[in-house]
C-alpha cells in the first residue's frame, strides 16, 4: 500500500492558554478528497496552517507526500499548493501578473500557455488585466484557485474553496476540481462550511470540535450513524453538544 | 495522469525565485507612478537644501572652502545609507500591506531568497531615487560625486550593507510585532544620524558618545569621505573597520530576521499579519 499523502500523529498546537488543536491524528490517502468540518474555532484553519508549514505545532508529527514536514518542508512545497479567501494576492498587480509571479516562484515552464489554460478553465480570462484588488469576492476566489492550481499540485489544501461564488460558478468550480483530481490523481483536503459541497465532493469527513476530531467517516456514514437526514444536521448536532454539557474543556476557543 | 508525481527536487537556492520576487515589485512600480516619484523626491529635496547651504559656506568660510562640496557629499552619502535601508524595509512592508506572506511562504520561496530579493529591490529603488539627485548636484552646483573615485565604490558598498543590516532588523520587528512597528522603518536612521558623523568629525562629539559612533560602520565611511576630500587620502584602515563591523551587522540583521520568521511560524503570524 502506498504511503498516505498526509499522515498526522498526535498533533497539538497551543497558543498560550488556548489549545487550538488537541492531540489530532489522521491520514489522507492519495486521490482522496477529505473535508475538515467544524464550527468557528474548531481548529480547522490551524490544522491547515500546520499542514502548509506556516505554523509550527507544539507537539506531534506531520508527514506530507512522504516527507517530515517539520524538517523538510521545502522538499514538498513545490508539489502542493493552497487557496484561501482570507490570504490575499498583491492587490495592485493584475490577475495575469500575479499568476506569472507565482509561475516563476514554482519554477514552471511554458508559463504563458499554462496561465492561458487556467484562465479559460476558471473563466477568468475576461478580467486578466484588472488589478486583483478591484475584483469582486467571487472573482478573487477564482483567481486564488488559479494560483493554487498553477503548479498542478499533487496535494491541494483549500480553505472555503467556493465561498462568495454564485451557485452556477461554484458548481463549475467543483466540477473542475473533481476533474482535476481524477485526471491528476491529486489529493484534496478542504475546510468548508458548505455542507452540500462537502457531501458532493468528499470521500471522507473529519468532524472537528474544540481542537479535536470528534468523528470521521464518509458523509453517508456520518448521516446514518447520527440518525440524521443531511450532513448539516450532523454538523449542528455535533456543534451543539457543547451547549448540552458535552465534553468541552474549559478555556478552549 | 495518476499515481505519484516524480518531479525533480527544487534547488536549495534559485535565482529564478529571486527574480520572480523582483518582478512582483517591478509590476507594482509600473502600476503606481507615485511610488516612483517619491523615490526620487526626498533625495532631491535633501540635495537641494544642502547644496544651497554648501554654496553659502563656500562663500563665507575658508575652512569649508578647502573642501568644496563636503556637505553635499555627506548629504548624498547619507541618503545612500538611508535609501538602502528604507528601500529594503519598504519592499518587505509591501508584502505586509498586501497580507501576502501566507501565499509566499507556501510557495518554494526560501526565507534567504526573500532576503536576496529585498536586497536586489533596495539596489533598484536606491538607484532610481539617487540618480536624479546626483545628476542635479552636478547640474546645479557643479558637484561631481564621482570625483571621489574608486573610494566611492567602497563607500557605497559599505553604506548599502549597513542599510540592509539595519533594515533586516527593522523587518524582523515588524514581522514580530505587526505593522504597529512600521514607523521604526522610517525613524531608525534618524536616530543614528547625530552620532554617525555625517556632517562633522567624530572627534567633535562628546567623549562618551564617541564609542557609540565607532560602533556604527557608517561612521568610518563618513570619516573616510572627509579624509579623501580634505586630505586627498584614501584611508584603507577606516574601510577595513567598516567592513568588519558590517559583517557583524549583516550577520546579526539576517539572524534576527530568521529568528523572527521562526517565531512568526510558532505564533501563526504569517497568516495574520497586520496591525
Dig out the grid coordinates for A8 from the structure. 498526522
**Inter-residue contact B85 to B248 (CB < 8 Å):** no
Strand partners, B111: none
Please indicate whether, in this complex, the C-beta atoms of A82 and B106 are within 8 angstroms of each other: yes
Question: Which ranges of A135-229 does DSSP label H, i.e. alpha helix?
Answer: 137-149, 167-184, 195-201, 219-225
Residue A250 maps to a domain = no
Q: What's A31's domain CATH number? A: 3.40.50.300
Chain B, nearest residue to A145 by Cα: B103
Please indicate whether, in this complex, the C-beta atoms of A89 and B110 are within 8 angstroms of each other: no
Q: How far apart are CA A49 and CA A34, in angstroms?
A: 16
DSSP summary character for residue A94: B
Residue A253 maps to a domain = no
pLDDT classification of A1: cutoffs 50, 70, 90: low
Q: Starting from the edge strand earliest in sequence, which strands make up the sheet with A6-15, in order?
A: A18-28, A6-15, A59-64, A67-68
Cβ contacts below 8 Å, chain A against chain B, sum to 122
Q: Is A187 on the interface with B (CB under 8 A)?
A: no
Mean pLDDT per block of 10 residues along chain B (275 residues) reads: 54 90 91 80 79 72 62 86 93 91 93 96 91 86 78 89 96 90 85 90 93 96 89 90 96 96 92 57
Total domains in the fold of chain A: 1
* Residue B41: domain span: 15-267
Give the pTM: 0.87
Total domains in the fold of chain B: 1
Residue B37 maps to a domain = yes
In tens, the pLDDT along A141-177 reads 899 999 999 999 999 999 988 887 888 888 888 999 9
Residue B6 maps to a domain = no
* Long-range CB pairs of A76-79, under 8 A, 24+ apart, other chains included: A76/A155, A77/A53, A77/B10, A77/B106, A77/B107, A77/B108, A78/A106, A78/A107, A78/A151, A78/B7, A78/B10, A78/B108, A79/A151, A79/A153, A79/A154, A79/A155, A79/B5, A79/B7
Residue B196 maps to a domain = yes
In tens, the pLDDT along B161-218 reads 999 999 999 999 999 988 888 888 888 888 898 999 898 899 999 999 999 999 999 9
Chain B, nearest residue to A16 by Cα: B267
Residue A85 maps to a domain = yes
Q: In angstroms, what separates the C-alpha of A233 from chain B's closest C-alpha?
A: 31
Residue B272 maps to a domain = no
Residue B1 maps to a domain = no
Residue B120 maps to a domain = yes
DSSP summary character for residue A90: P
Which of A17, A107, A109, A148 should we substitute to test contact with B (largest number of B Cβ atoms within 10 Å)? Answer: A107
Residue B130 maps to a domain = yes
Q: In angstroms, what separates the C-alpha of A54 from chain B's closest C-alpha?
A: 6
Pairing of strands A204-209, A212-217: antiparallel
Residue B249 maps to a domain = yes
Q: Is A209 on the interface with B (CB under 8 A)?
A: no
| Check: complex ipTM more than 0.85 | yes
* Residue A129: domain span: 6-242
Q: How far apart are CA A9 and CA A7, in angstroms?
A: 7
Chain A, nearest residue to B30 by Cα: A93
Amino acid at each position: 500500500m502506498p504511503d498516505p499523502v498526509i499522515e498526522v500523529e498526535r498533533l497539538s498546537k497551543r497558543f498560550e492558554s488556548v489549545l487550538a488543536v488537541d492531540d489530532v491524528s489522521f491520514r489522507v490517502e492519495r486521490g482522496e478528497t477529505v473535508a475538515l468540518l467544524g464550527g468557528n474555532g474548531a481548529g480547522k484553519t490551524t490544522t491547515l496552517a500546520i499542514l502548509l508549514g506556516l505554523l509550527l505545532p507544539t507537539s506531534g508529527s506531520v508527514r506530507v507526500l512522504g516527507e517530515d514536514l517539520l524538517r523538510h518542508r521545502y522538499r514538498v512545497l513545490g508539489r502542493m499548493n493552497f487557496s484561501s479567501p482570507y490570504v490575499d494576492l498583491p492587490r495592485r498587480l493584475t490577475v495575469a501578473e500575479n499568476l506569472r509571479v507565482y509561475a516563476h516562484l514554482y519554477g514552471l515552464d511554458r508559463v504563458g500557455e499554462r496561465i492561458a489554460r487556467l484562465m479559460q478553465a476558471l473563466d477568468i480570462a475576461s478580467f486578466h488585466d484588472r488589478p486583483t484588488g478591484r475584483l469582486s469576492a467571487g472573482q478573487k476566489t477564482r483567481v486564488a484557485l488559479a494560483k493554487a492550481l498553477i503548479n498542478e499540485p499533487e496535494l491541494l489544501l483549500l480553505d472555503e474553496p467556493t465561498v462568495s461564488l454564485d451557485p452556477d460558478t461554484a458548481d463549475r468550480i467543483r466540477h473542475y476540481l473533481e476533474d482535476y483530481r481524477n485526471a491528476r490523481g491529486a489529493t484534496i483536503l478542504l475546510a468548508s462550511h458548505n455542507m452540500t459541497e462537502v457531501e458532493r465532493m468528499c470521500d471522507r469527513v473529519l468532524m472537528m470540535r474544540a481542537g479535536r476530531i470528534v468523528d470521521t467517516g464518509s458523509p453517508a456514514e456520518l448521516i446514518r450513524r447520527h440518525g440524521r437526514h443531511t450532513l448539516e444536521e450532523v454538523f449542528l448536532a455535533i456543534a451543539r453538544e457543547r451547549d448540552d454539557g458535552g465534553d468541552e474543556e474549559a478555556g478552549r476557543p | 495522469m495518476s499515481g505519484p508525481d516524480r518531479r525533480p527536487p527544487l534547488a536549495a537556492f534559485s535565482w529564478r525565485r529571486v527574480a520572480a520576487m523582483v518582478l512582483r515589485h517591478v509590476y507594482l512600480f509600473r502600476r503606481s507612478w507615485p511610488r516612483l516619484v517619491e523615490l526620487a523626491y526626498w533625495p532631491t529635496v535633501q540635495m537641494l537644501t544642502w547644496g544651497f547651504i554648501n554654496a553659502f559656506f563656500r562663500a563665507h568660510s575658508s575652512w569649508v572652502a578647502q573642501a568644496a562640496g563636503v556637505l553635499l557629499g555627506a548629504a548624498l552619502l547619507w541618503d545612500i545609507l538611508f535609501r538602502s535601508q528604507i528601500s529594503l524595509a519598504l519592499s518587505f512592508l509591501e508584502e505586509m500591506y498586501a497580507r501576502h506572506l501566507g501565499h509566499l511562504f507556501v510557495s518554494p520561496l526560501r526565507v534567504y531568497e526573500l532576503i536576496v530579493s529585498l536586497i536586489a529591490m533596495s539596489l533598484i529603488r536606491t538607484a532610481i531615487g539617487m540618480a536624479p539627485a546626483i545628476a542635479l548636484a552636478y547640474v546645479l552646483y557643479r558637484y561631481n560625486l564621482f570625483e571621489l573615485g574608486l573610494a566611492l565604490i567602497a563607500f557605497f558598498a559599505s553604506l548599502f550593507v549597513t542599510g540592509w543590516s539595519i533594515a533586516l532588523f527593522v523587518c524582523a520587528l515588524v514581522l514580530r510585532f505587526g505593522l504597529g512597528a512600521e514607523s521604526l522603518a522610517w525613524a531608525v536612521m534618524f536616530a543614528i544620524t547625530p552620532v554617525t558623523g555625517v556632517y562633522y568629525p567624530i572627534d567633535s562629539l562628546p567623549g562618551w558618545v564617541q564609542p557609540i559612533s565607532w560602533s556604527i560602520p557608517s561612521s568610518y565611511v563618513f570619516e573616510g569621505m572627509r579624509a579623501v576630500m580634505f586630505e586627498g587620502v584614501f584611508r584603507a584602515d577606516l574601510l577595513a573597520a567598516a567592513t568588519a563591523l558590517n559583517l557583524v551587522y549583516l550577520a546579526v540583521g539576517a539572524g534576527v530576521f530568521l529568528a523572527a520568521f521562526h517565531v512568526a511560524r510558532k505564533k501563526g503570524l504569517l497568516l495574520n499579519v497586520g496591525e
